């Protein structure tokens, strides 16, 4: 992903989720995805998908069972 894409996605997600601490960061050695953080906590991955001239982004977040405890 380009730096411009990352900045646009970060701005969009900050507004959508109302989370000013949300950050989208480039992944080392990966050009088709970026990491999403809230503060310093990693929460998921954004994937860039280009198919037949259509561009979209997918956000993948795993929620572990032990995260739901308490």
> What confidence score (pLDDT) does residue 28 get?
87
pLDDT tens digits along 27-40: 989 999 999 999 99
> What confidence score (pLDDT) does residue 57 get?
97
Q: Which domain holds residue 9?
A: 3-68
Confidence band, pLDDT 50/70/90 cuts, at residue 68: very high
Q: What is the mean pLDDT of the chain?
A: 95
DSSP structure string for the chain: --HHHHHHHHHHHHHHHT-TTEEEEEPTT-SSEEEEEETTEEEEEEEEEEETTEEEEEEE----GGGG--
Q: Which of 69, 7, 4, 13 has its CA nearest to residue 38?
A: 13
- Count the domains in the chain: 1
> What confidence score (pLDDT) does residue 16 get?
96
pLDDT tens digits along 39-59: 999 999 999 999 999 999 999
Distance CA 38, CA 14 (A): 10
């Amino acid at each position: 992903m380009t730096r411009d894409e990352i900045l646009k996605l970060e701005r969009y997600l900050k507004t959508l989720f109302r989370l000013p601490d949300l950050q989208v960061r480039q992944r080392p050695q990966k050009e088709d995805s970026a990491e999403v953080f809230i503060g310093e906590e990693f929460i998921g991955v954004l994937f860039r998908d280009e198919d037949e001239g259509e561009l979209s982004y997918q956000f993948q977040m795993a929620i572990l069972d032990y995260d739901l405890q308490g």
